[in-house]
Amino acid sequence: MRRVKTRIQLDIEDTPTHYVNILPYLKNPLPPPLNPATGDPIGPEALMALFPEECVKQEVSMEKKIEIPWEVRGILMRSGRPSPLQRAVGLEEALKTPCRIYYKREDVSPTGSHKLNTAVAQAYYAKKEGVERLATETGAGQWGSAVALACAYFDIEAMVYMVRISYEQKQYRGTLMRTYGAQIVPSPSDKTDYGRKVRKEDPDHPGTLGIAISEAIEDTMKHENTKYTLGSVLNFVLLQQSVIGQETIMQLDSIEETPNYLVGCVGGGSNFAGMAYPFIAEERFRDVQCIAVEPKACPSLTEGEYRYDFGDTAGMTPKLKMYTLGSDFTPPKIHAGGLRYHGVAPTISALVEEGRIKARAYEQLEVLNAGVLFAKTEGVIPAPESAHAIKAVIDIALEAKKKNKSQAIVFNLSGHGHFDMAAYGALLDGTLNGESVSTTSRVQSETVSITKG
């Protein structure tokens, strides 16, 4: 047996005190959001109706570091931060690779993923501004669970629109959210004008993140003292995840390791950015290869266009410059619900344009098989989203093996798959298909106008 340090732990006081903001590190200024009606750039004020003021300030801040309020840091600490960095010795041995593989354990958070990092911050800022209710969407249910718990911590009502296909595939996620006190409905729902419209056109619509976002925004605009909370895509969300990468840097430094590769799955981009941005911000890591992994069924970075598009399906959000498959795109019903999003964060898109981040795409069958290998060798059942990163890591480790190169590969295990037994069950029963983009259907997108009150 080899003697290596398999679990790299930090002290609780090492929980980061600041967020790392990527905006000052981009080669070109980020293209501004546009008013969909006029096509003019919009200022931060336009976002204030939806988000807490502090989040909007963070969205456009050019500060390299932003202080984490002690109340937020305290909750992160009692929710398992700093999370361990683990050496994947079992996986390395199974692959017979000379590479060193490490994974950051975001699965150990009480709700099972990285999403709590930003949910706590957003609920805190909302509470400080006197908000009594938060509305949101969720795909796989990880984001909804994090919002439900964050709202319970701060005594705020939570309203969650959960993508219908995930709601059906993962019923216990709904129960978890309700246990924390959240109200949850499958989307498209009959609670909003937009949900009713989609259901009228297609009563069996499986839902998408884009539709659920439209519903949550409409809900926010129509309810008093309600704000919207978002689990990915925007800069303030991504920077609130930067605790992940900062801790990883401290952990790697403590064992004198420098990564060659950083790998993460990408839906909207928050777990990937949370891991990668603190490295990208440090000159000493300029040679680290950053690999973003997405499903072939929803290949925004590998097959999408870099252009302005809506963040949602109804066209209620400002237009964002990003890689997109089109806001009317309905991905196939893959089990990685958190990756069924038509776009990718504008900052990640900009870094892909710069060539700083590279993207890969995989089919769900090969992804879940990678998840099973990881479960057998490391003991942890990964979320189907995170299994995308694992598939890429396995490929990188095998490519390096062919060249007889020993590389350090670090990936973000963004969540566990304990609520994803339907996915693993289908794989084991042999009923799962590959699902690539050719099987998709499209829904019509149309702007729905709404007024507050």
Ligand X SMILES: Cc1ncc(COP(=O)(O)O)c(C=O)c1O
Interface contacts to ligand X, rule CB under 6 A? 113, 139-140, 142-143, 232, 265-271, 338-339, 383, 385-386, 414-415
Nearest distance from C-beta of residue 35 to ligand X, angstroms: 25
Q: Given the complex with ligand X, which of 97 and 118 has the nearer CB atom?
A: 118
Nearer to ligand X, 100 or 391 (CB): 391
**What are 28's two structure tokens?**
């070109």
Q: Report phi then psi at 9, rounded to 5.
A: -105, 150
Least distance (Å) between residue 442 CB and ligand X = 22
Token pair belonging to 95: 């692959």
Minimum distance, C-beta of residue 338 to ligand X, in the bound complex (Å): 2
Cβ 393 vs Cβ 409: under 8 Å: yes
Q: Which is nearer to ligand X, 101 or 292 (CB)?
A: 292
Nearest distance from C-beta of residue 385 to ligand X, angstroms: 3
Strands 261-265 and 408-413: parallel
User: Token digits for 163?
Assistant: 């993508």
Question: Given the complex with ligand X, which of 50 and 383 has the nearer CB atom?
Answer: 383
- Rank residues 389 and 400 by Cβ distance to ligand X and give the closer one: 389
Shortest separation between residue 143's beta carbon and ligand X, angstroms: 5
- What is the nearest approach in angstroms of ligand X to the Cβ of residue 254? 26
- Which SS3 state, helix, strand or coil, does residue 228 take? strand
* Helix 70-78 and helix 116-128, axial crossing angle in degrees, nearest 10: 140
Which of 283-308 are b and which e, b meaning 16 or more Cβ less than 10 Å from the residue's Cβ?
eebeebebbbbbbbbbbbbbebebeb
Q: Work out how close the CB of 291 gets to ligand X at its nearest, in angstroms, rounded to a whole number.
A: 14
| In the complex, minimum distance from the CB of residue 208 to ligand X, in angstroms, rounded to a whole number | 13
- Other CB atoms within 10 Å distance of the CB of residue 433: 12
Q: To 10 degrees, what angle do helices 209-222 and 193-201 make?
A: 140
Q: Which residue is nearest to ligand X (CB)?
A: 338
Q: At 202, is the secondary structure helix, strand, or coil? A: coil
In whole angstroms, give the CA distance from residue 375 to residue 334: 20
The answer to whether 80 and 110 are in contact (CB under 8 A) is yes
* Tokens read off for 382: 């990964």
Q: Which is nearer to ligand X, 259 or 295 (CB)?
A: 295
Closer Cβ to ligand X, 134 or 339, answer by number: 339
Residue type, 119: A
Which helix (H) or strand (E) covers residue 19, if one does? strand 18-20
Query: Which residue number, 127 or 388, has a Cβ lying nearer to ligand X?
Result: 388
409 and 108 Cβ atoms separated by less than 8 Å: no
